[in-house]
Amino acid sequence: MRLFVAVNFPARLRQKIARLCGPLQEAGVPARWTEPDKVHLTFKFIGEVPAIEVEPISEALEEVAGRFRPFELRFGPIGAFPSPRRPRVVWLGVEPTPELRFIKDDLERRLAELGIPREERPYQPHVTLGRAPREAEAGEFRRLEEVARSLKVTDTYRVTHIDLMKSQLGAAGALHTRLVAARMGSRS
Over residues 42-98, the pLDDT tens digits come to 999 999 999 999 999 999 999 999 999 999 999 999 999 998 888 999 999 999 999
Distance CA 78, CA 151 (A): 7
Q: What is the DSSP string of 5-64?
A: EEEE--HHHHHHHHTTHHHHHHTT---EEPPGGG-EEEEEEEEE--GGGHHHHHHHHHHH
Coil, helix or strand for 164? strand
161 is an active site residue: no
Q: Which of 163, 161, 165 is nearest to 185 (CA)?
A: 161
Those residues with Cβ within 8 angstroms of residue 153's Cβ, 6 or more apart along the chain or in another chain: 13, 16, 17, 20, 75, 92
Is 22 exposed, middle or buried, given 0-12, 13-18 or 19+ CB atoms closer than 10 A? exposed
| List 31, 34, 40, 128, catalytic entry | 40
User: What confidence score (pLDDT) does residue 139 get?
Assistant: 84
40 is an active site residue: yes
User: What confidence score (pLDDT) does residue 170 get?
Assistant: 78
Tens of pLDDT, residues 101-143: 999 999 999 999 999 999 999 999 999 999 998 888 878 898 9
| List 100, 126, 128, 165, catalytic entry | 126
Q: Quote the DSSP letter at residue 116.
A: P
User: What confidence score (pLDDT) does residue 187 get?
Assistant: 62
Distance CA 116, CA 107 (A): 10
CB neighbours (10 Å) of residue 128? 18
Coil, helix or strand for 134? coil
Cα–Cα distances (Å) from 81 to 49, 89, 186, in that order, read 27, 5, 35
User: What confidence score (pLDDT) does residue 34 get?
Assistant: 93
pTM here is 0.92
